[in-house]
Structure 1
Amino acid sequence: MEGLLTAETLYLALGMLACGAVAGVLAGLLGVGGGIVIVPVLYTTLGFLNIDPDIQMHIAVGTSLATIIPTSISSSRAHHKRGAVDFSLIKIWAISIVIGAIIGIAVAGQVKSPTLTAVFAVIALIVALNMLTNPNGKAIWQSLPDKLVAQPIAAAVGGFSVLMGIGGGTLSVPILTLFNFPIHRAVGTAALFGLLISLPGTIGFIYNGWGHPSLPAASLGYVNLIGLALISPVTMLFAPLGAKIAHSISKKALRIAFGIFLLLTSIRMFSGKLF
């Protein structure tokens, strides 16, 4: 019995490490903070471990947000070295992104796991279709909206990102490119958005899940420390590689890769047959 438990633990650890490597590359490549990979993988893993279905998605989202904190730092630093982080845009969007994240935390504390899963799947599908039907990133508007119009957009990015357990790039990159913002610069800036979202998001999910009777071992609220310990260092290690790749391929290839990955993730979420 002990051998089986040891083997299961080893397989879980290897899976988390692999998840961290893929998430790190995607964080640097797409500015997505890795959450778009981490959430479905963790959700599936928790299902195999027979964790209470009512909190599976909450733990996946909360743990994902926690791993995004160091990943976003690593990814944004790598992009900053290449001059791809727009700090003037950060100043305009930052406060509203944080406010949106706080609203998302409040909502997440009131809904059940299937609702969070549906939010993830629907938004991922919308973004995927946009990226695949507009692979050249054709802008609808020729410039970014003024500061007043930008605030609800930034708040929506923060709020829905927290509900999905992602760093913000999944939403902000396609939105920025619709406003004729260069995609490589959008990816770099989105990496820093991830830090603004993941910090309050992590604190909120710890608070929301504190003392829940069905939490798995080594959990701090809805943040599982085992997943955090295994995934986070690897995502930091691989994020610079993703950033390097992002600056070596075409805009069209970057958008198509992003769209295909999101489409597959969404389909698996809807089908309930993740990975």
Structure 2
Amino acid sequence: MDIMRDGAVRWLSPAGFFTMRWWEWGPADGTPVICVHGLTRTGRDFDPLAQALGDAGRRVICPDLPGRGASDWLPDPMLYQPPVYVAALSHLLARFDGPVDWVGTSLGGICGMGVAATPGNPIRRMVLNDVGCFVPVEAMARIRDYIGDEPVFPDIAALEAHLRHIHAPFGQLNDAEWRHLAETSARPAKNGGVTLHYDPAIATPIRAQEAQALDMKALWGLVKQPVLLIRGAESDLLLEETAQSMAAGSNVQLAEIAGAGHAPALMDPAQIALVAAFLGQ
């Protein structure tokens, strides 16, 4: 069984240099897999998947995006947008000499599409976990409404109860998996207790305007790599019609996860096997 390691990269933003940290599994000489988390999550969400891929010989890198987890917060909240995340991730990609695979959940998938659409990019195969080329306005409004506050919880158990509620669409997780998400989602609050492990200012760009649909069809049209598109069967973010239209492309394999919405947690052995099989091709 592989042991998790950590690492860091300095990256240049419009506001200066900052540190982005990551969590790493598998042999240092394995073919890299980059796993990028969702909007309010951290790289530790991928621990079960990363450990399995690492045990199979892949080098798995799971960064905390800027403003999340162990990575630096940014001084200008308006920098918390996908082009800046892609810039940070590009500094990480520059560490590798050769192709990489990409697993992106929600925001991590949007970043993946941004990289994969760029000429000369190193992405070989890509997994998009419950995100596609179109996000409806209703889903964007829901996201806008649940981020940006900074609730303080008396302990990890209370934070876990909160996560079980807001992230119920992750699917049927067991008690140990929920506790893992809670423990890796927590940071000490200023006056005692714990709060969520991200900068509340990540909500600022989203709340700066009225909710509107996110149309990335032009970006998607530039993605030519083989793609595994995973959809939670009850997802409000990746609609069935969007997934089906994307799956019409010869490079796309569509898999729907029953009992999940936005977004499948990729902790279940069957989901891990699905991703591993695709990346192993």
TM range (shorter): under 0.3
Q: Which is helix-richer, 1 or 2?
A: 1
TM-score of the aligned structures, taking structure 2 as reference length? 0.25
TM-score of the aligned structures, taking structure 1 as reference length? 0.25
Query: Which of structures 1 and 2 has the larger relative contact order (alpha carbons within 8 angstroms, sep 6+)?
Result: 1
